[in-house]
Amino acid sequence: MHGRFEGRRRLLGGAATLALVPWLPARAADAELPYIPALAAFLAGRTPRWERIRLELPRLADNGQSVPMKITVDGPFAPGPTVRALRLFSQRNPVPEMAVFEYPVPVERVEVESRVRLAGTQRIAAVAEMSDGTLCANAVEVVVTIDACLDGTG
């Protein structure tokens, strides 16, 4: 009975470039941070390592107003460097620095979930700042479509 609506893959099969699989972290080919001035300013010339940190959002958002987001940094940590902060950057939002999550006290399980707003299809980047100053990063692209029908109830 579910043959009628077997996923969004069918719909966007005709669309140009995207191979759609829900909830995948970035592929190796994406191992490149999107150019976001605020992110570049934060990096200040440093190159983050493309490892340990995973950023997960659905490849296709149900609604740009609320998109589930998860950042995970793989342990173990101690005795090595621990995670000090996680930063989330947006390529298209009016406010590019979406959030900063900080750990004043190190924790063995670094996993943060929230829901974000996305102003249209774009790439999102997450950067983990370790206690020894090193950085890890990851990025994903999220497709945000416009609503099929306008809602005038404000």
Partner 1 sequence: MRGATLGAAACAVALCAAAAAAQERALPLSELRSGIDFAGPSVRALQADDVANPGMLWVERGEKLWNEPSGTAAASCASCHGEARSGMRGAATRYPAYDAGAEAVVDLEARIVDCRVRRQRAAAWPRESDELLAITAYVAHQSRGLPLAVSIDGGARAAFERGRAFYYQRHGQMNLACAHCHEQNWGKRLLAETISQGHGNAYPVYRLEWQNLGSLQRRLRACLFAVRAEMPPPGAPELTDLELFLAWRAQGLPIETPGVRR
Partner 2 sequence: MPDARITIPAKVQRGAPFEVRIVIRHPMETGYRTDESGKPIARNVIRTFVCRYNGEPVFSARLSPGIAANPYLRFFVTARESGELVFEWQDDAGASVSERAALTVT
Q: Using CB under 8 A as the criterion, which residues of the chain lie in contact with partner 1 when the complex forms?
A: 1-2, 4-5, 8, 11-12, 22-23, 58, 60-63, 65-68, 145-153
- Contact status: 109 vs partner 2 (CB under 8 A): yes
Please state, in angstroms and rounded to a whole number, the distance separating the CA atoms of residues 122 and 141. Answer: 6
Binding to partner 2 (CB under 8 A) within 49-68 occurs at 65-67
Closest CA to 59 of 71, 50, 67: 67
Quickly count: other Cβ atoms within 10 Å of residue 39's Cβ. Answer: 22
In the list 103, 120, 121, 135, the residue contacting partner 2 (rule: CB under 8 A) is 103
**CA-wise closest residue to 91 among 136, 49, 22, 37:** 37
Q: Which of 42, 47, 54 is nearest to 140 (CA)?
A: 54
Cβ neighbours, 10 Å, residue 123: 19
Query: Which residue in 98, 128, 130, 140 binds partner 2 (CB under 8 A)?
Result: 98
Q: Give 47 or 153: the residue with its C-beta nearer to partner 1.
A: 153
**78 is a site residue for partner 2 (CB under 8 A):** no
CB of 113 to partner 2, least distance (A): 4
Q: List the one residue from 84, 97, 135, 145 that touches partner 2 (CB under 8 A).
A: 97
Residue 99 within binding range of partner 2, rule CB under 8 A: yes
Query: How far apart are alpha carbons 116 and 129 in whole angstroms?
Result: 21
Closest contact distance (angstroms) between CB of 67 and partner 2 is 7
Q: Which residues contact 131 (CB under 8 A, 6 or more apart)?
A: 81, 82, 83, 84, 106
Select the binding partner of residue 98 from partner 1, partner 2, none (C-beta < 5 to 8 A, by kind): partner 2
Q: Which residues bind partner 2 (CB under 8 A)?
A: 65-67, 88, 90, 93-95, 97-105, 107-118, 154
